[in-house]
Structure 1
Amino acid sequence: MERLTDRILAVADAHPDATALIFRGKRTGYGALARRVRTLAAAVRGTAAPVALHATKTPGTVAAMLGCLLAGVPYVPIDPSVPAARRELILRDSGAQLLLVDDGAPGVRSPALDGSSAAVVVPLGRLEEEAPGGEAVGEPSDIANILYTSGSTGRPKGVLTTHTNAVTFLRWAQDLIGVRADDVVACYAPLHFDMHVFDLFGTLSRGAAVLLLDDRTILFPEAVCRVLREEGATSMYAVPSAWIGLLRSATLADKGLPRLRTLMYSGEEFPVPPLRELAALLPQAGIVNIYGPVETNAVTALVVRPEHLRLDRIPIGLPFGDSKVFLIDTAGRVLTEPGAEGEIVVHTATMCEGYLGDPAMTTASRITVESKGEAYEAYRTGDYGVRDADGLLHFRGRRDGRIKTRGFRVEIGEVEAGLGAHPAVQDVVVSTRPHPERTHELIAFVTLRTPGSLAPAELVAWCRKLLPAHMVPRELRILDGLPHTGTGKADRVALKQMAAVPEERC
């Protein structure tokens, strides 16, 4: 089994003086990174449980990820801004007993865990000081990481990604993108997002430099553009809303990004008008649309051409590598005729092992597909699409209850569960409203057990304690009662129509 660290450490041993990481203007060489990785691997070697990471975007966190992989210990990246209740849930669900924090990064604060937590906070500096010597490589374990994503049951679910999944994806991505040793690849996405697999491991395995755009810089498009120009970034992979944000930058409009040769996006649909504008501002950069859920990483890819920019919606392309992508009807039959809409299901070597501790959910996410006399185990994406006459796949929507906002997948049921947990709430339905930059905004409709007992602002504050920022509703409307269908269910169609009209504000 090839590990994610194998090629990276081989590069480090062959080219120790080459730049591996760029962070806030400072360079870390491959040799220095490899020494730190081996030290951290020795420190966590033998750990029975996965290791959680306070996933601030720093060289220390990158070294900790690689150290865990080298030691044969899965890592669990946790969003540093996540509410304490959600962080605790992830720690307990994953079984992590250590939460590593990069104490050497300016402005990084250790999360406060109470005495009931199963994990203890360990600064990387202390871990390195106390690391034993000896061989750092641990027993082979194919599980590389556990990435938590929104769950329809009201709980986040842990996706088990293997070394084999990731190495396969990177091999296919290199065939498409072709990262070179002289490249500078900007890491924009947060490290708890699956995009980091390409940004970090795809770059370092080729001897190129990773430009870590720190968590504060990405809040300001002008700052991002300035850093990309100053460091000569040649590639960046980000969600469309991030690229759209950069369109507001005077630096991009006036000076462009002359060294950028590859612009990749994923996570949500890119509205065509701003993509056309971006293509005009960066004429030298190739544009690649990558599609796929976290459970499979990339599934399809499209090199966006001028003819695609003339369409109303950008296609999501052709299958990645050796993947097989099928469209099925409600009976599970494969649809082959152009224009027939069906659910997108995928047979691929990048399909995850399943969901941690939930075999029933793992089974429900898969289906056996019969095609041309062969049977394939496939992952059900919950997305719908069509193929055109040229075989290109076009995205047509998501199954009810699952949407994307700002590049993050959100299960409506989890947001509703969070709101419904408030003791004053009687009933709740969360709907969506299209947004030109964020894809969707969440609009919550709530009824109270006692009318007038709670203000919308109090419920929003409640949400912020339980849910990540991207899952907090943009608007929260308290109603006397929810509309219902003839069968007694909440009328989600009527509520979606209400959500489409922004609430009047004084």
Structure 2
Amino acid sequence: MSLYSPVVEAAARTPDALAVRDLTAQLRYGELDAHADTFLTALRGRGVRPGDRVLVWTDKTPESVAVAQAVLRSGAIHVPVPRSNPPGRVARIAADARPALIVTDHEDRVPGAVHAPVAELRREGAHGAPAAPHPVLPSDPAYILYTSGSTGTPKGVCVSHGGALAFVDWACRELRLTAVDRLANHAAFSFDLSVLDLYGAFRAGASVHLVGDTLGRAAEPLVDFVLESGITVWYSVPSALVLMAEYGGLLERGPGALRACVFAGERFPLKPLKDLRRAWPEVRLLNWYGPTETNVCTSYEVTAADLARTTDIPIGSPVAGDTVSLDDGEIVVGGPTVMLGYWGARPQAGPYRTGDLGRYDADGSLEYRGRIDDMAKVRGHRVEPAEVSGVLVTHETVRDAVVLVTGSGLGTRLHAVVVPEAGSAPELAQLRRHCSDFLPPYMVIDALHTVPGFPRTANGKVDRAALGDLLTQGAAV
């Protein structure tokens, strides 16, 4: 079984069933299968071979889904990158992944890389000799998801066909997905939440409804979308649900056809979660946990009993055949959903140490207790502050920089604390523009503070705790 098999099988069973839709276009399973074969022919004609990487830098569209299916059918490795990523960051990803091809639906380019516009691939595939899908093993790599790296450069999490399907098959059983379900896809294709949206839908022969970047940030239209599209399964970071509840009337307007609401990627503040539980008594609410390196490895279902809680809900118990343990408080995950490794680095050997802290509650459910290091979640996206500060120090007015994260959920903010170059006066607006040239939108700084120098620990490292205290006290200007 491969990650491209579900579409092939659904197309054979129900070719006229809806597979994927956005606000302007849709593909039925027979059409999605045919489009994927057309793009497969084009990729083969371009010399793409099994094991190659194909970087797909496009908007979220049904056609980009067909391209991803073609990449998988070629035996190559899919590297999804959202259109919102600027060329500078895509260039760093490309330098690591070394793709045979960058597929685009826009005019931006990465110097030195081979680009293939979607429209050109469509034309080439329509006139080329049909190509058969390449048979893959469960252990073969399927995709690479690039996350923010602690070294200041993006890290590629490489996942196998079998690893992705171990999660997808469990999720289909847990959510009892069937062909009549309609799944929303709120997350970017480069975010591991999208794996359920796409491949869970395809495994069940259901339909997935794509949420673009603009719609994804608009609370009231997003609620309209959920209700008017008849969405039955929703999966997002909690911040999106809080936004929809506070500004889109989500609770007052009711869940519509929704029967399961899943959230992951960050803690769900207790009060809005209780409000959601009260407003939707018949909708299943599930809290899933797992870093990108493991996809989902634990699950907890929120029930009416949780309305009496005074602390955060647990992250639950192991799923999908994984084992989850604590080593000196650190959450360690082993099992089929664990990544193959970081692209270009040594393969993952044994269980994955998450860097997250956990403990068991009185009922034996695992609770999340924060990060061992300073990694943070910004509206559900994992962010290494070092990557942001690495961009800041390339600006002509900045001599050194540290990025701190405050708040949580919708209140999460990235604070840049910078030591200016002599005679310079950095401004927030110019540094935000600079960040936007190299980083995705969620990694652009929210606030700027200048200091003459950083406090240091005894061993010479920047004392981040003391720096945070300076911000709290307003000592940094």
Q: How does the TM-score come out when normalised to structure 2?
A: 0.93
Hey, what's the Cα distance between the residues in 1 that align with 2:467 and 2:186?
35
Instruction: Show the counterpart of 2:243.
Output: 245
Q: Map of 1:66-465 to 2, 5 A cutoff?
A: 66-102=69-105, 110-113=106-109, 116-120=111-115, 122-131=116-125, 132-140=128-136, 142-311=140-309, 312-329=311-328, 342-359=329-346, 377-438=350-411, 440-465=412-437
Hey, what's the Cα distance between the residues in 2 that align with 1:11 and 1:503?
61
Secondary structure of the structure 2 residue equivalent to 1:497: helix
8 Å CA contact retained: 1:235, 1:261: yes
Secondary structure of the structure 2 residue equivalent to 1:247: helix
8 Å CA contact retained: 1:226, 1:251: no
- What are the ranges of 5 or more consecutive residues in structure 1 without an aligned counterpart? 103-109, 330-341, 367-376
Hey, what's the Cα distance between the residues in 1 that align with 2:17 and 2:151?
47
Letter of the 1:56 counterpart:
D
Instruction: Show the counterpart of 1:18.
Output: 17
The change in CA–CA distance for 1:305 and 1:425 in structure 2 (over 3 A counts) is: same
8 Å CA contact retained: 1:55, 1:191: no
Hey, what's the Cα distance between the residues in 2 that align with 1:180 and 1:450?
63
Hey, what's the Cα distance between the residues in 2 that align with 1:502 and 1:79?
37
Q: CA deviation at 1:501?
A: 5.9
C-alpha distance after superposition, 1:12-55 (max 9, x if no partner):
11111111122216542111111111111222135143111123
Hey, what's the Cα distance between the residues in 2 that align with 1:6 and 1:455?
52
C-alpha distance after superposition, 1:426-460 (max 9, x if no partner):
3322222113524x322121112304343343333
Of 448, 452, 460, which aligns to 1:476? 448
The change in CA–CA distance for 1:354 and 1:486 in structure 2 (over 3 A counts) is: closer
Hey, what's the Cα distance between the residues in 2 that align with 1:405 and 1:453?
27
Letter of the 1:4 counterpart:
L
Letter of the 2:121 counterpart:
L
Letter of the 1:420 counterpart:
V
Q: CA RMSD in A?
A: 2.1
C-alpha distance after superposition, 1:143-167 (max 9, x if no partner):
1111100101111011111101111
- What are the ranges of 5 or more consecutive residues in structure 2 without an aligned counterpart? none
Letter of the 2:335 counterpart:
T
C-alpha distance after superposition, 1:270-300 (max 9, x if no partner):
1011111122232221000010011110110
Hey, what's the Cα distance between the residues in 2 that align with 1:95 and 1:139?
23
The change in CA–CA distance for 1:501 and 1:229 in structure 2 (over 3 A counts) is: farther
8 Å CA contact retained: 2:37, 2:130: no
8 Å CA contact retained: 1:456, 1:478: no
Q: CA deviation at 1:498?
A: 3.0
8 Å CA contact retained: 1:180, 1:206: yes
Secondary structure of the structure 2 residue equivalent to 1:205: helix
8 Å CA contact retained: 1:252, 1:281: no
8 Å CA contact retained: 2:6, 2:199: no
Q: CA deviation at 1:214?
A: 2.4
Secondary structure of the structure 2 residue equivalent to 1:130: helix
Q: CA deviation at 1:134?
A: 2.6
8 Å CA contact retained: 2:150, 2:386: yes
Letter of the 2:178 counterpart:
R
Hey, what's the Cα distance between the residues in 1 that align with 2:68 and 2:393?
36
8 Å CA contact retained: 1:40, 1:63: yes
Hey, what's the Cα distance between the residues in 1 that align with 2:120 and 2:474?
51
Letter of the 1:126 counterpart:
E
Letter of the 1:321 counterpart:
A
Greater Cα shift, 401-410 or 418-427: 418-427
Q: CA deviation at 1:390?
A: 2.1
Letter of the 1:320 counterpart:
V
Greater Cα shift, 46-55 or 66-75: 46-55
What percent of counterpart residues are identical? 36
Hey, what's the Cα distance between the residues in 2 that align with 1:9 and 1:499?
55
C-alpha distance after superposition, 1:198-257 (max 9, x if no partner):
100111111111111222221211111111111111011000111111103455244212
Of 58, 61, 65, which aligns to 1:58? 61
Q: CA deviation at 1:349?
A: 0.7
Secondary structure of the structure 2 residue equivalent to 1:140: coil
Greater Cα shift, 347-356 or 24-33: 24-33
Q: How does the TM-score come out when normalised to structure 1?
A: 0.88
Q: CA deviation at 1:384?
A: 0.2
Hey, what's the Cα distance between the residues in 1 that align with 2:250 and 2:399?
49
Hey, what's the Cα distance between the residues in 2 that align with 1:437 and 1:225?
17
Letter of the 1:394 counterpart:
E
Q: CA deviation at 1:318?
A: 0.2
8 Å CA contact retained: 1:432, 1:499: no
Hey, what's the Cα distance between the residues in 2 that align with 1:452 and 1:8?
56
